A and B are shown apart, each in its own frame.
Chain A
Amino acid sequence: MEIILTIALLVGGTVAGLLWRKGSFLRAIRRDKARVQLEDALKHIYDCEYNRLACTLESVAGTLALTPDKASEVIARLNALQLVTHDGRELRLTEKGRDDALRVIRIHRLWERYLADETAVREQDWHSDADKKEHLLTPQEAGELAKRLGHPPFDPHGDPIPTEEGVIPAQRGKPLLDFHAGETLKVTHVEDEPEAVFALLVREKIFPDVVAKVAANSRKGLELETEGRMIFLSAIAAANVRAVAFEQPDIAPEASKTLLSLRLGESGRVIGISHTCRGVQRRRLMDLGIVPGTEVTAELQSVSGDPVGYNIRGATIALRRQQAEMVFIE
């Protein structure tokens, strides 16, 4: 009898599982592996052009993890479809090829933006998730997603998101290593590959819009001061970050007073929310009225001391420690 019950449970479970995964399940079957390869190759060639690097058969094979034979097959098909031309060694996109590449890139970056803003998926998983999604969404679905996200101009790594018509601006900023000690900069781009380096940058909380002062720049690497923290980046890590010079940061690099430093009854004026606080978390704090100039008073402590109730614009709002340390005050 147990056997029958077990079988019933197993069958029921499988059916339920299939039903609720139906969406991605069926799409996965429909997914055309060949098309994915073509789109990935286009994307790679586009990346080369954007970064002004030469793109060759070998680099395509390397990026897509294909044998040279297989890679040249892919390129021959792209050529036949009039998406790619080649003059001997170097590969170039045709006008049509560039449009196709930008369409895929648009979906990729929009999806990363979505993951960053509306989910709690880890930073390191954005890229691989978007790599799958970029082949699945139709341009219409991408359009709806863009609308829902408020037509974001950049992805969470600081890369511009192409418009529906395939317009994209030139690259911003210069490599982090080109900045000298004493200069203040604003991060504009954090490269998400290779993953190990990106994970390190995430751990050090280097994100676009983070403002930092270069404390030292030597051959070993770069020392940065931001929002009261000192960060050391090896030359390899720093090479994956771009930035622009920036003169008037809202939160000074040496700022250190946050809401946490308020004792009960004390007040402070907000100068800004840490730029490492992003997505929903950041929006939520701003919606509560935590913007530069707001006067905040620590008012009430819970039994365990965390959270603390703050008076913000006349309302008492409880904030957890981890949120309070994101809000810088004068």
Chain B
Amino acid sequence: MSPRHEEILHTADMLRWELGEQFHDRTVEALYGDAAQIAKKAVIMPGKKTRLNFERTLDHLVTNRWTGFPLMFLLLAIVFWITIEGANVPSALLADVFLDSLYPMLKSFGENIGLPWWLNGLLFDGMYLAMAWVVSVMLPPMAIFFPLFTLAEDFGYLPRVAFNLDSMFRKSGAHGKQALTMAMGYGCNAAAIISTRIIDSPRERLIAILTNNFAICNGRWPTQILIATIFVGALAPAHLSGLVSSLAVVTVVLIGIFFTFLVSWGLSKTLLKGEASFFSLELPPYRPPRIWQTLYTSVIDRTLIVLWRAVVWALPAGAVIWLVSNIHIGGVSLAEHAVNAFDPFGILIGLNGVILLAYIIAIPANEIVIPTVLMLTVLVTKVAGVGSGAGVMFELDSELATAEVLRTGGWTLLTGVNLMLFSLLHNPCSTTLYTIYKETGSAKWTTLSAVIPLGIAFVVCFVVAVVFSAIGLT
């Protein structure tokens, strides 16, 4: 470099300090100024000076003190109703095809081509059954819920919900858009984790990810309803039992919301204190939803990706479930060894060894927890005439029969209540954990998102168990 060049570079270096810190601000201002000038010359805006009348009316209704929240609850209720009612038919159909027709065919096919019994069991009773179960329970609600949700988003309604709820979330250090990711979590936590991308502030996004688990996903709704009916509903007179068990489920949902706010607040004050935080929320104009595009993106981006991850996890888990039930050491299956080992701790926190083992081996999806619990209970208690053999998950047609099996397994009211709480609070399923890892790219946050809820679940269940024994209920 010639001395002349060096001199120029040196001068440039010195000028940087003279320009000062506000140089960036000035540049942005100038850019906006120029852009506005150019737009003014080149763009004609015909008519539309103010916003459309109907938009104003709608916005007024949606953000009004008296109509805002009732409207929101009504829409939410409708979406859930359509999802639950609408999912029944395709779910039954898929179960019919995958579980009732294809499964026996595969089993006998395996026998016919001379597979050894253990390979036949591992492949079809274990891996195939777990996968088929996950697909038939998970796919229909997701395929209905996600498009509905995306339509509401596309129409412009959901940003208004975030707008209305922001003040509540702000107080716990979170972002109003977390209301949307929570609502998504009621459908599927894994998909909800992907949807936290709408929160662009790093701290608030991590809060939404780490607390999403407290929204019970569609794999946990049936568990909640079943256990509430068997254990809580049964306490009330027959004509009220339906109401009482629904109230129990609603209470669980509210407890979940309570923990969402509590943990959000705690995280924003401690672990996430140093993460950058800012608020921004755009309220786009209302527009007619693009139905086909919405269907395509919600089915491809959300439903199929999540389903694929669930299937990938269900296969090995199905193998594990079958193996622990069928490998024997000293004449006793691995599953029984594990159940016996977990029992003291399980009973200490008002659950039992079967439940803990079921939550470990059924980690890929909450949908298969109850079938696994039933199978393990039958395996451990050696009840005759129920179920389909060691390592084969099953469900019973009637609640009475299920209650019968669970009571034989030593379940009490406390076990029922604590299972509902544990199902609400425990760690996310492996599909969700994997999604969290993909989204955050961090082993630290993935670990915490499992450890924090699990710790809370243990503590809450333990406290409930202590309270139950203190007031003499068992």
Contacts and interface: CB of A to CB of B under 8 A. Distances in A.
Interface of A: 1-2, 4-5, 13, 16, 19-20, 118-121, 150-154, 160, 163, 165, 167, 169, 208-209, 279-282, 284, 286-289, 291-294, 299-307, 309, 313, 315-320, 323
Nearest to A152: B21
A167 B59 CA distance: 57
Interface string B361-390: 000000000000000000000000000000
Given A16-B443, A119-B274, A121-B274, 9 more contacts: A19-B443, A121-B273, A150-B24, A165-B13, A167-B10, A284-B278, A302-B166, A307-B166, A315-B284
A209 B203 CA distance: 27
**Which of B23, B68, B276, B285 neighbours the largest number of chain A CB atoms within 10 Å of its CB?**
B276
Nearest to A172: B17
A89 B280 CA distance: 58
A280 B345 contact: no
Contacts of B348: 2
B33 interface: yes
Contact of B275 (A120, A167, A292): A120
- Prevailing SS type, chain B contact patch: helix
A151 B59 CA distance: 44
B452 to A, nearest CB: 12
A150 to B, nearest CB: 7
Given A121-B274, A169-B14, A302-B63, A316 B280 contact: no
Contacts of B163: 300, 302, 307, 309, 318
Interface in B5-30: 10, 13-14, 16-17, 19-25, 28-29
A1 B342 contact: yes
**Which of B14, B275, B283, B285 neighbours the largest number of chain A CB atoms within 10 Å of its CB?**
B283
Interface string B443-465: 11001000100000000000000
Contact of B32 (A1, A282, A291, A305): A291
Nearest to B170: A320
A323 B281 CA distance: 12
**Which of A118, A279, A304 neighbours the largest number of chain B CB atoms within 10 Å of its CB?**
A304
Contacts of A150: 24
A316 B283 contact: yes
A287 B203 CA distance: 19
A2 B344 contact: yes
Nearest to B443: A20
Contacts of B13: 163, 165, 167
B19 A153 contact: yes
Given A167-B10, A208-B21, A292-B29, A2 B278 contact: no
Contacts, number: 133
A284 B69 contact: no
B68 A307 contact: no
A320 B177 CA distance: 13
**Which of B21, B68, B284 neighbours the largest number of chain A CB atoms within 10 Å of its CB?**
B21
Contacts of B59: 300
Closest CB pairs A-B (n = 7): A304-B167, A318-B281, A316-B283, A291-B29, A20-B444, A303-B68, A303-B164
Contact of A307 (B24, B32, B167): B167
Contact of B279 (A4, A293, A323): A323
A119 B276 contact: yes
A96 to B, nearest CB: 20
B64 interface: yes
A208 B20 CA distance: 11
Given A1-B341, A118-B276, A317 B281 contact: yes
B65 interface: yes
Given A291-B28, A300-B63, A307-B166, A153 B17 contact: yes
A313 B344 CA distance: 64
A290 B268 CA distance: 27
B455 to A, nearest CB: 10
B277 interface: yes
17 contacts: A1-B343, A2-B345, A5-B345, A120-B203, A150-B24, A153-B16, A208-B21, A209-B22, A280-B278, A282-B25, A301-B63, A303-B164, A306-B166, A315-B284, A316-B283, A318-B163, A320-B166
Nearest to A4: B341
Contacts of B168: 304
B282 interface: yes
